């Protein structure tokens, strides 16, 4: 099979890797921030456009369905069509949809824009991590780049709380979307100048895999979204999860026999990578639900404003930034397994500490210390886990490996939130929800024993 490289590649071979990384992580931050900023803006959106209480949740759900459903396809599309091209296309779609959403005059208009935003995000997000894999050679440079990327991904929600609180305090909710426009245009303009295009691999596109993966992941995400609202026994929840199981089973069967699969099954047969994928599902399940209830505690129990809540969460990304600077020095000495075990152990300790939260808990004694533990744990565990997934995945599979990782993260986060919301709705205390979060972290910790003693 012949391969071809996009024209113009030679002009950017001398591009500064730091500039390339800055473009990649800025795009990732824009995508991650969007979700949290929009959550903070929801009350203003409801008042401005006349959403019903039930319809308002679809401002987030519409985005999550498109984003989660298309991540696998977005990752593989970059492998086949060229990662830079798919990445820039995704950014432009996301930016155009942000502008359209900011101009929305009706609920249907905004929801349509959110779906297109999700499509754009699903095209851009897998390409970002895959471009790191092809831009930085395996070793300290890639470790540092993945660490910075992981920090942005892990801390974006806390930063989004601060930004969302600021926007809704001083301006219109529309700026929660308009803010993406200049950032997206700048990234789309700069990317072709500094990011090298990857080889295109023409061939027969896996249409059956694309359809079953997209519909299967969308059904799965919808099932967990509905479970959080209507419960696990709801007929709609059960139907969505059963449909997802059937579609994803068909997807696996398809991938086993086609020449150019969306998600090559060889990515999941190597022991250390399979363990890393499992951790990347379980750890977000422990984190995302816990983060949701932390914000609830700050605003409802401690009576923080959204802006104050954002400021209160800043120690989490701050400590992650410090830890990520140390990871490239520690990883060659200790290897991934001890670092992942240590990081997840700290996340587990943080969840257990947070399980003691009650009506009399205060910020300094009840929240600050476990937040610092959580930041150190995530900053220690995520980079080596991501590197275990990326290292050893050849250039032809980098996008698929990245897309699968992010699809599993999205699924894990949806599972964690749905389970914790169900537990809380069943009458459990705030501390009880963090006990459940700790169980997800414990399962992730157990998964580390699937790692070989020393992995590359």
Q: Assign residue 321 the CATH number of its domain.
A: 1.20.1250.20
Q: Using alpha carbons only, what angle is made at residue 246 by residues 215 and 421, rounded to the nearest 5 degrees?
A: 70
Residue 335 lies in a domain: yes
CA 442 to chain centre: 21
Residue 205 clears pLDDT 80, i.e. is over it: no
Measured distance CA(390)–CA(146) in Å, rounded = 10
Residue 347 lies in a domain: yes
Q: What pLDDT is recorded for position 456?
A: 45
| Distances 231 to 80, 219, 227, 327, 432 between C-alpha atoms, Å | 40, 16, 4, 41, 18
13-28 pLDDT, tens digit each: 445 788 888 898 899 8
Q: What pLDDT is recorded for position 2?
A: 38
Residue 456 lies in a domain: no
Local confidence band at 7 (pLDDT 50, 70, 90 cut-offs): very low
Residue 454 clears pLDDT 90, i.e. is over it: no
67-79 pLDDT, tens digit each: 877 887 887 787 7
Residue 169 clears pLDDT 80, i.e. is over it: no
Q: Please give the average per-residue pLDDT across 381-386, as a whole number.
A: 88
Residue 198 clears pLDDT 60, i.e. is over it: yes
Q: What pLDDT is recorded for position 53?
A: 65
Residue 186 lies in a domain: yes
221-258 pLDDT, tens digit each: 788 878 877 888 899 999 999 999 999 999 889 888 88
Q: Please give the average per-residue pLDDT across 394-406, as a whole number.
A: 77
| Distances 372 to 231, 321, 338, 360, 447 between C-alpha atoms, Å | 33, 12, 20, 20, 24
Q: What pLDDT is recorded for position 227?
A: 82
Of the chain, the percentage scoring pLDDT greater than 90 comes to 24
Residue 310 lies in a domain: yes
Residue 386 lies in a domain: yes
Q: Which domain holds residue 424?
A: 4-450
Q: What pLDDT is recorded for position 351?
A: 93
- What is the total count of domains within the chain? 1
Residue 27 lies in a domain: yes
Residue 128 lies in a domain: yes
109-136 pLDDT, tens digit each: 999 999 999 999 989 988 787 888 778 8
């Amino acid at each position: 099979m012949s391969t071809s490289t996009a024209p113009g590649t030679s002009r950017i071979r001398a591009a500064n890797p730091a500039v390339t990384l800055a473009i990649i992580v800025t795009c990732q931050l824009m995508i991650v921030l969007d979700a949290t900023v929009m959550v903070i803006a929801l009350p203003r959106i409801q008042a401005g456009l006349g959403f019903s209480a039930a319809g308002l949740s679809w401002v987030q759900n519409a985005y999550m369905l498109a984003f989660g459903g298309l991540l696998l396809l977005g990752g593989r599309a970059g492998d086949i069509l060229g990662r830079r091209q798919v990445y820039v296309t995704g950014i432009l779609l996301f930016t155009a949809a942000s502008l359209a959403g900011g101009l929305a005059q009706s609920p249907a208009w905004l929801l349509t824009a959110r779906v297109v935003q999700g499509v754009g995000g699903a095209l851009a997000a897998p390409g970002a991590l895959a471009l790191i894999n092809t831009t930085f050679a395996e070793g300290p440079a890639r470790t540092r780049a993945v660490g910075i990327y992981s920090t942005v991904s892990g801390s974006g929600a806390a930063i989004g709380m601060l930004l969302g609180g600021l926007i809704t305090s001083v301006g219109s909710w529309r700026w929660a979307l308009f803010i993406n426009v200049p950032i997206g245009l700048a990234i789309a303009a700069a990317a072709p100048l500094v990011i090298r295009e990857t080889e295109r691999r023409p061939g027969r596109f896996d249409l059956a895999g694309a359809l079953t993966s997209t519909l299967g992941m969308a059904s799965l995400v919808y099932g967990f979204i509905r479970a959080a609202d209507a419960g696990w026994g709801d007929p709609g929840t059960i139907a969505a999860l059963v449909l997802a199981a059937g579609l994803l089973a068909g997807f696996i069967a398809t991938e086993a026999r086609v020449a150019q699969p969306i998600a090559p099954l060889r990515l999941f047969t190597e022991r250390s990578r399979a363990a890393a994928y499992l951790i990347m599902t379980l750890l977000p399940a422990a984190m995302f639900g816990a983060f949701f209830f932390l914000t609830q505690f700050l605003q409802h129990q401690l009576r923080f404003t959204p802006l104050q809540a954002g400021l209160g969460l800043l120690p989490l990304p701050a400590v992650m930034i410090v830890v990520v600077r140390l990871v490239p020095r520690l990883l060659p000495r200790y290897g991934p397994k001890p670092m992942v075990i240590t990081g997840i152990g700290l996340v587990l300790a943080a969840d257990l500490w947070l399980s003691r939260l009650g009506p009399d808990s205060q910020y300094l004694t009840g929240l600050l210390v476990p937040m610092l533990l959580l930041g150190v744990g995530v900053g220690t565990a995520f980079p080596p886990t991501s590197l275990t997934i990326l290292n050893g995945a050849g250039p032809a599979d980098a996008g698929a490996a990245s897309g699968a990782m992010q699809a599993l993260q999205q699924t894990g986060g949806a599972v964690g939130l749905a389970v914790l919301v169900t537990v809380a709705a069943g009458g459990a205390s705030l501390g009880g929800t963090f006990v459940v979060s700790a169980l997800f972290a414990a399962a992730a910790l157990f998964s580390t024993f699937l790692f070989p003693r020393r992995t590359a």
